[in-house]
Amino acid sequence: MAVKYCMNSVFSCDGIQAVRELEESSIHLILSDIPYGIGVDEWDVLHSNTNSALLGTSPAQIRAGAVFRRRGKPLNGWSEADRRIPAEYQRWCESFAGEWLRILKPGASALVFAGRRLSHRCIVAFENAGFTFKDSLAWLRQSAPHRAQRISMVFQRRRDEANAEKWDGWRIGNLRPTFEPILWFVKPYAIGTTIADNVLAYAVGAFNEQAFTRYEKVPDNVLRSGFAKGEGGWHVAQKPVKLLQSLIELTTIPGQLVLDPFCGSGSTLVAAKLTGRAYMGFEVDAEAVKIARERLAPDVFEVNGI
């Protein structure tokens, strides 16, 4: 491990660059909620399209309240620049996928939260880098905002009563987004060895169903762990610690090293600490780093009882 990056710490840095400085085959698990590239916030804009609507707020959005505060890119590709966004996201994933492969131990997992719309680009980038795409898990969220606009309202505003009636019940947009994909990749173990030998050599490669079912009733690939009371509010894209604990216990044993190169408010690191794993987090946003450090401070652990 590079001396610069010691264990059980959160570093204020570019996680793509920092990973390049880590030792080969030194990490037991990468668990990360990477930017989805859908423009949910400034850090999530990973393309060169500078259309003025990006992240803006229209009067209709203001009237609709909190759910509509920000506008990402149009879904359907209203311009050439919009249509280039998925390929640009893939190139962004490619900029670190190979390095993730290098630093993981053979047989180790990379568990990646990726948005529904662009996750396929992440999968291709990781496969091209040499990962095996093992499975796509689904995390069922406790709640999700339904952003689909009623098209009849648009016709009503145009005073087009006939079409408002004809299209009553129809919406523009998507069904309620209640699941998020968690992509499960593994670094292939050496050709000529077996998975059992790999487990003996590197202590990764199998999964712990027994530990996992302490969090989820059944060992299915649909996960339902949610936020504990009062847990939210640290980050706009925060994930539940219990969910992350279940994934860490699924793939690692106590004492092993979990890395999150895009750690946000440190939820993965808190989960690693709670499960007795070593952790390391990288994050570019100074405020998020401060929050992560606060969440990981020993006295906070005791106060919150987590």
Ligand X SMILES: C[S@@+](CC[C@H](N)C(=O)[O-])C[C@H]1O[C@@H](n2cnc3c(N)ncnc32)[C@H](O)[C@@H]1O
Binding site for ligand X (CB under 6 A): 14-16, 33, 35, 43, 234-235, 237-239, 262, 264-265, 267, 282-285, 288
**Closer residue to ligand X, CB minimum distance, 47 or 235:** 235
Closest distance to ligand X from the beta carbon of 103 (Å): 15
Q: Round to whole Å and give the CA distance between 299 and 284.
A: 25
| CA dist list (Å): 153 to 60, 65, 69, 147, 167 | 12, 17, 19, 14, 9
Q: Round to whole Å and give the CA distance between 221 and 121.
A: 21
**Closer residue to ligand X, CB minimum distance, 33 or 99:** 33
**Closer residue to ligand X, CB minimum distance, 39 or 205:** 39
Closest distance to ligand X from the beta carbon of 215 (Å): 17
Closest distance to ligand X from the beta carbon of 152 (Å): 35
Angle made by CA atoms 133, 137, 143, in degrees to the nearest 5: 145
Closest distance to ligand X from the beta carbon of 291 (Å): 8
CB nearest ligand X: which residue? Answer: 264
Residues β-bridged to residue 135: 184
Angle made by CA atoms 31, 2, 194, in degrees to the nearest 5: 55
Closest distance to ligand X from the beta carbon of 44 (Å): 7
**Closer residue to ligand X, CB minimum distance, 245 or 265:** 265
What residue type is 256 in one-letter code? Q
Which ranges constitute the DSSP H helices of the chain?
15-20, 59-64, 80-83, 85-103, 119-129, 151-157, 161-166, 195-202, 209-212, 241-251, 267-274, 286-296, 298-304
Closest distance to ligand X from the beta carbon of 58 (Å): 25
**Closer residue to ligand X, CB minimum distance, 172 or 284:** 284
| CA dist list (Å): 128 to 17, 138, 165, 298 | 20, 23, 50, 41
**Closer residue to ligand X, CB minimum distance, 46 or 108:** 46
